[in-house]
Chain A
């Protein structure tokens, strides 16, 4: 190789490097404030990690956990926000108030009962749908058919609740249909009952059940069912002994999600429910419509509801996993 050729090549390489220096990234890397900054954060793997971790940890502690902690804290005080010149005292009165009056604990137990019932209805309604999608539809169509179901769920809570009001009203579509085929001659008052409320809540939460069920069913190999069939198991036995136990995880997470969401609805029960179906969310909200000194009671009630909902879901999940272990031995 001649000297000239080598020097020409070096020259080309150097010019490529100079061009790299002129790109955005090249200039950034050579910019002295950036170098100082990179040196500061990249000094050691330990420091890199600390800088990466500091903000997320502070965020989740102050923004995710903070509000819950403060809510629990306020629930043990007698005044919040504290008026000028007054002192805040610790007290259990807010919790005592809950047990003292049926106007408070009735909606509470009603909420738990309703949420559990509606969760069960959602499960019964969506399991066949998820089963059909996961087992009987080709891969390509699965996505399209799931997307079709997703569309209505992008629409907000209030709009969908209103849609249910129009469906079930005295002059609504269902009553019109029933009347025109001659089944009834006076409209059935669906609205402002636990039925209309359940209809609305199932309508709003169905997707949160469907997706976990679908992914559990989709993961289940078809060969398991075929093996069971070869061993002589009928369709019902196959479902009960193979499919159901192996999708318990999906059932469990879907039910947990729907239960937690269903206990938290406020607008839907207000719009679709009646005086006999007051839920705890309405009770809690009542303390925040009035002047500030009722806030601690509202906080206590919200704490009671959150803790109970957690206990219910934990017990439920334990039960489900015990069931699974008992079945698949």
Chain B
């Protein structure tokens, strides 16, 4: 009975793995199809779509544009998020729960509403649609994730270390820079990678706050609306491989860092 349950459940797990992987694998397969016609079966194979993508100046510049936006917005999110986390995880103060609630708000607002609200707000501030607006929206949207990750790490910091540093004459800023910050490095790195991926993959905010220059997801969306083609598969595959590699690397790297600082 128990064994039967177990086998059944493991089948469910592997079926779920298939469910999340198969669509992506099929998409990658089609990117090698030697025909303009999307679909199956695939009878002959080619690399032509990839050489086309790497020769396409628009795709390449879009790619660079997305990376720059991701890096800039992540830098802002990490600084602001860490600052908020240090405040919230420090001593209790009146209104802390309200500040915490407001901090996680951008992560809970449904995508389209958040994009609309940012668009209206940017207009009110006189920010034109374009790179600055996208960087700002991504930065605000990603702050809650940094705060949550950094707070979790901060709560495990032995308070005695800070006290020891203070006893030895370090002022609060030096104690933060030399004790707290190094301890937070794994969390901050992990959160940064997560923000980079969120920003790089984001569609709805980039779409509503973008100017004439598209980010990579916006470009794929625009191409999809004018018709499917293996060229889109090739672009999507490059984006997929990049995000997956960065994600796996970050996961392993932060895990190792955490072990080192704790051991």
Which residues does A use to contact B, with CB under 8 Å? Answer: 25, 28-29, 38, 41-42, 48-49, 52-53, 55-57, 59-61, 63-68, 70-71, 74, 80-81, 125-126, 128-129, 131-133, 136, 145, 147-160, 162-167, 169-173, 176, 203, 206, 235, 260-261, 263-267, 270-271, 281, 284-285, 288, 295, 298-299, 302, 305-306, 309
| In contact, B26 and A156 (Cβ under 8 angstroms) | no
Which chain B positions have C-beta within 8 A of A42? 171-173
Using an 8 Å CB-CB cutoff, how does the interface string of B183-212 with A read, 1 for contact, 0 for none? Answer: 000000000000001001111100110000
Which chain B positions have C-beta within 8 A of A176? 39-41
Interface members, chain B 101-134 (any A CB < 8 Å): 102-103, 105-106, 108-121, 123-124
Closest residue of chain A to B217 (Cβ to Cβ) is A158
Which chain A positions have C-beta within 8 A of B117? 67-68, 70-71, 302
- When chains A and B are docked, how far (Å) is the Cα of A165 from the Cα of B84? 41
Closest residue of chain A to B103 (Cβ to Cβ) is A60
Which chain B positions have C-beta within 8 A of A151? 244, 247-248
Which chain A positions have C-beta within 8 A of B202? 156-157
Instruction: Pick the interface stretch among B17-25, B50-58, B152-160.
Output: B17-25
- When chains A and B are docked, how far (Å) is the Cα of A56 from the Cα of B85? 9
Closest residue of chain A to B114 (Cβ to Cβ) is A264
- When chains A and B are docked, how far (Å) is the Cα of A157 from the Cα of B111? 12
> What is the CB-to-nearest-CB distance from A21 to chain B, in angstroms, rounded to a whole number?
13
| In contact, B172 and A71 (Cβ under 8 angstroms) | no
> What is the CB-to-nearest-CB distance from B179 to chain A, in angstroms, rounded to a whole number?
12
- When chains A and B are docked, how far (Å) is the Cα of A264 from the Cα of B109? 8
Out of B108, B110, B173, B240, name the residue touching A159 (CB < 8 Å).
B240
Which chain B positions have C-beta within 8 A of A165? 224, 228
**Which of A68, A158, A167, A305 neighbours the largest number of chain B CB atoms within 10 Å of its CB?**
A158
> What is the CB-to-nearest-CB distance from A266 to chain B, in angstroms, rounded to a whole number?
5
- When chains A and B are docked, how far (Å) is the Cα of A304 from the Cα of B126? 26
| In contact, B112 and A63 (Cβ under 8 angstroms) | no
**Which of B22, B23, B171, B240 neighbours the largest number of chain A CB atoms within 10 Å of its CB?**
B23
| In contact, B83 and A203 (Cβ under 8 angstroms) | no
| In contact, B173 and A266 (Cβ under 8 angstroms) | no
| In contact, A265 and B111 (Cβ under 8 angstroms) | yes
- When chains A and B are docked, how far (Å) is the Cα of A29 from the Cα of B174? 8
Which chain B positions have C-beta within 8 A of A270? 225
Which chain B positions have C-beta within 8 A of A38? 171, 173-174
> What is the CB-to-nearest-CB distance from B9 to chain A, in angstroms, rounded to a whole number?
4
Out of A49, A55, A145, A288, name the residue touching B83 (CB < 8 Å).
A55
Count, chain B residues at interface, CB 8 A: 86
Out of B13, B80, B93, B217, name the residue touching A156 (CB < 8 Å).
B217
Interface members, chain B 215-263 (any A CB < 8 Å): 217, 220-221, 224-225, 228, 232-233, 236, 239-240, 243-244, 246-248, 251
Which chain B positions have C-beta within 8 A of A49? 91, 93
| In contact, B110 and A263 (Cβ under 8 angstroms) | yes
Interface members, chain B 21-61 (any A CB < 8 Å): 21-24, 26-27, 30, 37-41
> What is the CB-to-nearest-CB distance from A229 to chain B, in angstroms, rounded to a whole number?
10
Out of B13, B88, B120, name the residue touching A299 (CB < 8 Å).
B120
Q: List 7 A-B contacts (CB under 8 A).
A: A25-B174, A29-B171, A70-B117, A154-B201, A172-B39, A263-B110, A271-B224
Which residues does B use to contact A, with CB under 8 Å? Answer: 1-2, 5-6, 9-10, 12-13, 16-17, 19-24, 26-27, 30, 37-41, 80, 83-84, 86-88, 90-91, 93, 99, 102-103, 105-106, 108-121, 123-124, 140, 143, 171-174, 178, 197, 200-204, 207-208, 217, 220-221, 224-225, 228, 232-233, 236, 239-240, 243-244, 246-248, 251
| In contact, B87 and A52 (Cβ under 8 angstroms) | yes
Closest residue of chain A to B87 (Cβ to Cβ) is A56
Out of B111, B221, B247, name the residue touching A158 (CB < 8 Å).
B221
| In contact, A267 and B21 (Cβ under 8 angstroms) | no
Q: Using known A-B contacts A158-B220, A166-B38, determine if residue A309 contacts B102 with beta carbons closer than 8 Å.
A: no
- Extra inter-chain contacts (14) besides given A60-B99, A157-B202, CB under 8 Å: A52-B86, A53-B87, A64-B105, A67-B118, A67-B120, A145-B13, A154-B244, A156-B201, A156-B239, A166-B26, A166-B27, A206-B16, A235-B5, A295-B120
Which chain B positions have C-beta within 8 A of A67? 114, 117-118, 120-121, 140
Which chain B positions have C-beta within 8 A of A28? 174
Out of A166, A263, A266, A302, name the residue touching B30 (CB < 8 Å).
A166
Q: Using known A-B contacts A71-B116, A71-B117, A306-B109, determine if residue A126 contacts B203 with beta carbons closer than 8 Å.
A: no
Closest residue of chain A to B2 (Cβ to Cβ) is A235
Which chain A positions have C-beta within 8 A of B26? 163, 166-167, 173
Out of A128, A171, A206, A288, name the residue touching B9 (CB < 8 Å).
A128
Q: Using known A-B contacts A64-B105, A158-B221, A306-B109, determine if residue A129 contacts B13 with beta carbons closer than 8 Å.
A: yes
Q: Using known A-B contacts A64-B106, A156-B201, determine if residue A266 contacts B111 with beta carbons closer than 8 Å.
A: yes
- When chains A and B are docked, how far (Å) is the Cα of A169 from the Cα of B233? 15
> What is the CB-to-nearest-CB distance from B253 to chain A, in angstroms, rounded to a whole number?
13
| In contact, A166 and B99 (Cβ under 8 angstroms) | no
Out of B40, B106, B201, B246, name the residue touching A157 (CB < 8 Å).
B201
- When chains A and B are docked, how far (Å) is the Cα of A59 from the Cα of B21? 39
> What is the CB-to-nearest-CB distance from A326 to chain B, in angstroms, rounded to a whole number?
27
Out of A57, A59, A70, A154, name the residue touching B247 (CB < 8 Å).
A154
Name the 3 nearest CB pairs between A and B, nearest first: A264-B110, A171-B39, A156-B201
